Amino acid sequence: MGDRVVVITGGFGAIGSAIRKAFAALGDRSVGIDIRDANDEWGPTLAADVTDESALASTFAKIRSEFGDPSVLVNCAGVTGHGSVLDESPSQWRRILEVNLTSAYLCVREVLPAMQVAHRGKILNVASVNARFGGSSLSGPAYAASKGGLLTLTRFLAREHAKDGIQVNAVAPGPHDTPMWHSLDPELRERILGMLPAGTGPGDPDDLAAAVVFLCSPAAAYITGATLDVNGGQWMG
């Protein structure tokens, strides 16, 4: 590890930033992709709409030109919803699936050819505990469906590209200490934490980032197609 080019979508969010920091601490070159340009001590974040195929192509071309071929891709971009299928409009449904699921497909297409040539690569998809138990009105149907699709995409890619030396895994986080978490109504936060066996939380984004780094490390060389639950026991399966 160290000196790899690592691309993290949603790279300037709370979890994306923690992941960039964790890779940078190992000496890797962390490059974020988010809705706006930004720079901090852990590296650059380039502006791109992850649902825009053309914008992503330009951004990845810039990454390859300035940093080299990515050998690690972390698909962390995501948005949530709420309510029932009657509450979420068709436009909201499409937008959530585009950000959470289609963006991962588009980004994988950008990094896969060079990984195949190099016969090595790590792809890590940040899903959700909602993908495990089907979600609820707290997440909305599109979020649960998109994260469930992300787990299936993980398994498909892992099986399809194992022969190429590429490992593909996922994490399924539960509630974590992020601005999105703190924006929830206190009563709602209490209800969510009540789903955890210990009743404590939320999780620390740095701990989640450590799990991501592990799955992208040589220590996880014999793991592919797996989903690591990082949700305080909210799901045990």
Domains in the chain and their CATH numbers?
5-230 (3.40.50.720)
Q: Which residue has the higher pLDDT, 70 or 194?
A: 70
Please tell me the least confidently modeled range out of 22-31, 136-145, 149-158: 136-145
Q: Residue 217 has what pLDDT?
A: 97
Give the confidence band of 194 by pLDDT, cuts at 50, 70, 90. Answer: confident
CA 160 – CA 28 distance, rounded (Å)? 27
Main-chain phi, psi angles of 220, to 5 degrees: -105, 25
200 exposure class (CB count in 10 Å sphere: 0-12, 13-18, 19+): exposed
Please tell me the least confidently modeled range out of 52-66, 78-92, 133-147, 186-200: 186-200
Q: Which residue has the higher pLDDT, 117 or 196?
A: 117
Q: Is 222 a catalytic residue?
A: no
Give pTM, 2 decimals. 0.94
Q: From the candidates 143, 144, 158, 161, which is the catalytic residue?
A: 143
